[in-house]
Structure 1
Amino acid sequence: MGARRPGRTHRYHSSSATPPSGEDKGKSDGQGQGQGQETGSSGSGGGGENTIWHKMLESAATSFASIVMVGIGFGIAGYGYHLYYKRLVLRKMTIAFEPGDPVLELAAMSRSVPKHIAGNVLDPHFQHPASKGSGDETSDADSDDLDHNESEEDDNDGDDGRGHYWIRRPEQELVNGIVSGLTIGHYHLFIGEKGTGKSSMQLDAMAQIDAEGVAMFDAHADLEIFRIRLGKALNYEFNEDYIGGYFSERGPRETTALLDIERALNKLEKVAVQRRNATRRGYRRRPLVIIVNQMHLIRDDEDGRDLIELLQQRAEQWAASGLVTMVFNSDDYWVYERFKQLAARLEVHSIQDLSRHQAMETLKRYRWRHFGERVDDDMASNIYEQVGGRLTFLNRVVRSKDMLRTCRHIMEAEKRWFLGQCWILGAEMDDDVMDQQKWAAAAMVLAQALVDKEAEEWESKKQEAAEESEAVKNKGSKKALARLRESPQRTWLPSFSLHEAQQIQTRADFIREMDRRNLFTIDSHAQVRASSVPMQWALREICQMPGFRNHLDATVQRIADIESLGRTRELVAKDLVLGGHYEFFSGKKDGGSSSSGSGSKTEVRFRGWSPHERPPRDPPEPGSDDAR
């Protein structure tokens, strides 16, 4: 083995006895090239910077693509959820008009009816009466099915299984046609005193069709509560369950109650259009029915008038198109006055108390069915004379053990209510209660006028009855004579026209507030009368109190005196010159001078002695001390 040559680099290990293979040689060459490149990188900067920017751009592009894909995914998902939510809202509102309604369940519970209704959704044979054919009216057989079978004896509180209670009023057929969708092209306003049976008739009509296509709710003075009740009736959440509300943008609920109500009515219109388009050929296209109860609870202010205007505009549009029929119930006259201003398709229905025959038959049937007691005609007539045909009063009377005692309690309660609201204080009243006493005196003046008119009409009727009795006696008709021998019965309440009542009170702004407080009532024909038969009895008792007319006259005179004192001005003049000439003007003055014909001039002259000049004393009388 020779020695190594100087200057030659030996690249292999000295312990290796075999030369390197091709793979080892390639690896060695690759490592050498990599070391050279690293050396070159550290040595020069141009090529390395290009490589870094390339990597940055590649990372940015990847991130941007990821963001775009995520954004597109969220956008598609959000848009899809938006479309789904809109369809969900319409589907939920459609379910609100399916058969069955919580209002009917509550009504059945309140009336202690264990069975629901004959047209229950569980009944496979149930079919809406308006869907049985395409004719305008129901068949005779269907009408017979809807008639109340009075001879049927059951234990359902007077219910025959179809929602009828107690007695069938003559207006029931009209209400049935409206609620079932047979009557279209108009919207309706039912006016009547509280307790006359407006809501009961509508619930009866809803029970016959199981509330299919009908929604009912009560109004309220607060618009927010009105909005919630409307949403509950329509099964609408006002977008409060929309998932977009979780984000930071302005939510759909950040608005006023009127806008929410408008949004709900827009959705209702879409549901009505879809329902109409989905109706098969050969079937009646029935409108949806919305019943708004207790409209008089809405305040007569700017917000309340805006709400009534909004509802009426929708009612007019939907009545013209036949999509939705809106029904409003009110106890007060002012709601009709608001509707009258824009009414074109409005129909007004006045719901009054039951007639004498209906009330007496109701008393007899209910008393016999639930108490086993037969009420004769004299007792039933006596009860009617005291409480009239108001259903709320009849309900209290027939459920009590002593019916006549309950009648007296009802009349005394009405009397105490009237006296507590508007009793007059007489000539000794203080001037601080001036405004309240004006209102009370106006109520008492109208009450006195109603009582006087009742007495006049009563005497006139008795005179007519006597003349007719004399005529019949001469003809010899025994049946007519027996009928006329019966004492005349009070079957009416005296009334004045609205303008006459305002003239009697000498005020035009008091009568509507009295209507709200159930002291007097104004019907749809603008007739003013006592709110009920017990209230008329209370007015009669008050006006027949000893010394009432003098007490009322003294109160009116005291009010006039206080007003006169308020209009009187006292002038005090100082430092007037004796013998001076002064002029006082009453009226307007133009440019410092009295205007001709616009005022009056009063001339005042002062005569007498001056404090600086003592007047001469009169000569003393004879016999006095001064004469001596």
Structure 2
Amino acid sequence: MTLVSRYALRTLWRQGRPRSMLLARPQIRGIMMVGPQILGDENEEDSGSSKKNDPKDDRREKFSQAAFKALETAAVTFATLTVLGVSGIMYHIYYQKRVLKKIRMAFNEGDPSLDMAFHSNDPESADWIVRDEQAIIDKAVSGRGLGRYYLIIGEKGTGKTSMLLEALRRVEGRNCAMFEAHSDPEIVRIRLGKALNYQYHEDYIGSLFSIRGPRDTTALLDIERAFDKLEEVALDVVKEKGRPLVLIVNSTHLLREDDDGENLVELLQQRAEQFAASGILTMIFNSDDYWVYERFKKLSTRLDVVTIKDLGRAKAIEALQHWRRKYFGDSVPVSVCNRIYDMVGGRPQFLNRVAQHSDMLAHAQQLVETEKTWFLNQCGLLGEDMDDDVMESGKFSGSAMLLAKELVEMEKKHIDSKGKPLPDQDHILPSLPLWRARQVMTRADYIQRYDNLNIFTIDSKSHVRADSAPMMEAFRQICAEPGFDNLLEETLDRVSAIESLGRTRELVLKDLVGGGKYRIELEKGNSWKGVGNRISMEVVPPPEEEDDD
């Protein structure tokens, strides 16, 4: 068999074809006929080329081919990375602009708080009782209070949030945003992001290729980043419209008085001071408790405090009649309104509850009983049978009763000196300075807990009084009960006895036999030298008995 036939067989075998196909195709027979000449020519060319090419030239050619492939691969890689880099930079720029645009959209007309407020769509909202403090709040919400930030403080139910929502309604929520505070900074972070329409880069696609996740940080850092973006938007808005943005933090008292809560309050106040100084944003804080004002006062330079009090008699009667017409469509005699005001005072929350019941006087009395029950549940006296383990509860209750008794005595002295108040006068609840209240209670740390429990309240002038008129009526009834003074005295004596037992130390001396004695010596120290008194004790052996001769 010729070389061509062997070459053809080898080729067919490599291609997996059977040997019988060798003579079946004319192409293969043609190759077999002319194969020796072709093969011979190729062999001659190969032999000639092998003689001409040098091994060094082959290595150089291979090296040049490898270098070309490496350069080609590097160029492709560089081009790919360049396209990815440029695309990433363009997306980052687009995302940053999109973030600022979304935050700006949050200050457009309308606000989620207004949508949730029940009186936003009330056709009778124009009949809302206008109060003196409403003008100050309207000025702040409308952006005319440049260079200041505000703390609205007052007891629960005085209408602070309603006044803020009314001011938002009047400006239709333009350039305003509002969110509720919370004890957990993580929830504050989420609510602030929702109010500003900011997602803290959690929707950033580039975070998919990063090692650290978008939430690998703390809530305070995220809140700081949100304020950084808000600052950029506020600068642009002030340049365009000439009026600052407004950010309202409602229920600031819900922040905890721990390290995280104090750090968050400090962050909010620092930002409020900075924004007020630059005039690009006005922050408004709403609080029920005094501690927020006490915390702000330490670092405040541009703070305005707005105190919201209960309604006076005339405004309370007007509000009661308005709500009565709204719920039942009838009018209430002025005499009945005066009696209700004498019982529950001018707290809008209580007046609204009373107006919703058919028998208003009975429900007003029920409100007084509710406040009395709440006070006794929190600060009820236990008497001389109090157990040692509840001494802290006895201290807490005794201090509250001492302060309540002092307020009742102050009211009696005022009535005795001024005479019985006229029926058309406003409620003036007795109050005393904070330092004096602490002297009466003999404790300085309980007053804040009383304020949190809505038993006593502290106003912006640092005066302490009953939280409401029904609570003050509860104080009168409790102090007028027979045996109250004895029960209070027994509780205080029992607390003193338990504390005395805790301060007393008992020393037991043993192993004295045969008439032995102890010798105790007291060495007085020198206070100037920092040396205290020292007591030394030693055993005196009994005298030896003489032997009888």
Q: TM-score range by the shorter chain?
A: 0.7 to 0.9
Q: Show the counterpart of 1:320.
A: 277
Q: Show the counterpart of 2:224.
A: 262
Q: Show the counterpart of 1:174.
A: 136
Residue pair 2:249, 2:286 contacting (<8 A) in 1 also: yes
Q: Show the counterpart of 1:88.
A: 98
Q: 3-state DSSP class of the match of 2:400?
A: helix
Q: Show the counterpart of 2:376.
A: 419
User: How far did 1:572 drift?
Assistant: 2.0
User: How far did 1:287 drift?
Assistant: 0.7
Q: 1:30 to 1:203 in 2, by over 3 A?
A: farther
Superposition pairs for residues 44-443 of structure 1, below 5 Å? Answer: 45-107=55-117, 110-111=118-119, 115=121, 156=122, 158-160=124-126, 166-279=128-241, 285-443=242-400
Residue pair 1:166, 1:366 contacting (<8 A) in 2 also: no
Q: 1:455 to 1:603 in 2, by over 3 A?
A: farther
Q: Show the counterpart of 2:452.
A: 516
Rounded Cα–Cα distance in structure 1 between residues aligned with 2:258 and 2:351: 35
User: How far did 1:386 drift?
Assistant: 1.1
Q: Does 1:583 align with 2:520?
A: yes
Q: 1:567 to 1:457 in 2, by over 3 A?
A: same
User: How far did 1:414 drift?
Assistant: 0.8
Q: 1:525 to 1:50 in 2, by over 3 A?
A: same
Rounded Cα–Cα distance in structure 2 between residues aligned with 1:424 and 1:248: 61
Rounded Cα–Cα distance in structure 2 between residues aligned with 1:405 and 1:254: 57
User: How far did 1:589 drift?
Assistant: 9.0
Structure 1, unmatched stretches of 5+, are 1-26, 116-155, 280-284, 466-485, 614-628
Q: Show the counterpart of 2:26.
A: none
Rounded Cα–Cα distance in structure 2 between residues aligned with 1:265 and 1:587: 63
Deviates more, 1:324-333 or 1:486-495: 486-495
Rounded Cα–Cα distance in structure 1 between residues aligned with 2:450 and 2:87: 59
- CA RMSD in angstroms, aligned pairs only: 2.9
Rounded Cα–Cα distance in structure 2 between residues aligned with 1:214 and 1:596: 63
Q: Show the counterpart of 2:485.
A: 549
Deviates more, 1:545-554 or 1:562-571: 562-571
Residue pair 1:462, 1:488 contacting (<8 A) in 2 also: no
Q: 3-state DSSP class of the match of 1:342?
A: coil
The one-letter code matched in structure 2 to 1:98 is N
Q: Show the counterpart of 1:472.
A: none
Q: 1:37 to 1:252 in 2, by over 3 A?
A: farther
Deviations 1:253-305 (A, max 9, x none): 311111111111011000011112223xxxxx111011001111111111111
User: How far did 1:47 drift?
Assistant: 2.7
Q: Does 1:35 align with 2:46?
A: yes
Q: 1:514 to 1:31 in 2, by over 3 A?
A: same
User: How far did 1:248 drift?
Assistant: 3.6
TM-score (norm 2): 0.86
Residue pair 1:244, 1:251 contacting (<8 A) in 2 also: no
User: How far did 1:611 drift?
Assistant: 13
Q: 1:605 to 1:105 in 2, by over 3 A?
A: same
Q: 1:408 to 1:85 in 2, by over 3 A?
A: same
Q: Show the counterpart of 1:146.
A: none
Rounded Cα–Cα distance in structure 1 between residues aligned with 2:545 and 2:483: 59
User: How far did 1:372 drift?
Assistant: 2.5
Q: 1:489 to 1:603 in 2, by over 3 A?
A: farther
Residue pair 1:190, 1:330 contacting (<8 A) in 2 also: yes
Rounded Cα–Cα distance in structure 1 between residues aligned with 2:525 and 2:299: 44
Structure 2, unmatched stretches of 5+, are 1-37
The one-letter code matched in structure 1 to 2:138 is N
Which of 503, 507, 518 does residue 567 from structure 1 map onto? 503
Q: 3-state DSSP class of the match of 2:520?
A: strand
Rounded Cα–Cα distance in structure 2 between residues aligned with 1:506 and 1:157: 53
The one-letter code matched in structure 2 to 1:58 is F
User: How far did 1:418 drift?
Assistant: 0.6
The one-letter code matched in structure 2 to 1:326 is M
The one-letter code matched in structure 2 to 1:217 is F
Rounded Cα–Cα distance in structure 1 between residues aligned with 2:388 and 2:294: 35
Q: 1:559 to 1:588 in 2, by over 3 A?
A: farther
Q: 1:586 to 1:191 in 2, by over 3 A?
A: farther
User: How far did 1:35 drift?
Assistant: 3.2
Which of 460, 469, 473 does residue 537 from structure 1 map onto? 473
Residue pair 1:97, 1:212 contacting (<8 A) in 2 also: yes
The one-letter code matched in structure 2 to 1:562 is I
Q: 3-state DSSP class of the match of 2:230?
A: helix
Q: 3-state DSSP class of the match of 1:546?
A: coil
User: How far did 1:489 drift?
Assistant: 5.1
Deviations 1:225-262 (A, max 9, x none): 11011101111111111112101422343111111111
The one-letter code matched in structure 2 to 1:171 is E
Q: 3-state DSSP class of the match of 1:278?
A: helix
Q: 3-state DSSP class of the match of 1:183?
A: coil
Rounded Cα–Cα distance in structure 2 between residues aligned with 1:541 and 1:612: 76
Q: 1:458 to 1:71 in 2, by over 3 A?
A: same
Residue pair 2:525, 2:534 contacting (<8 A) in 1 also: no
Residue pair 2:327, 2:355 contacting (<8 A) in 1 also: no
Kindly, what percent of the aligned residue pairs are identical? 46
Q: 1:44 to 1:398 in 2, by over 3 A?
A: same
Rounded Cα–Cα distance in structure 2 between residues aligned with 1:394 and 1:337: 30
User: How far did 1:544 drift?
Assistant: 1.2
Q: 3-state DSSP class of the match of 2:309?
A: coil
User: How far did 1:37 drift?
Assistant: 5.0
TM-score (norm 1): 0.76
Q: Show the counterpart of 1:461.
A: 418
Deviations 1:496-536 (A, max 9, x none): 10000000011111101110111100010101011111111
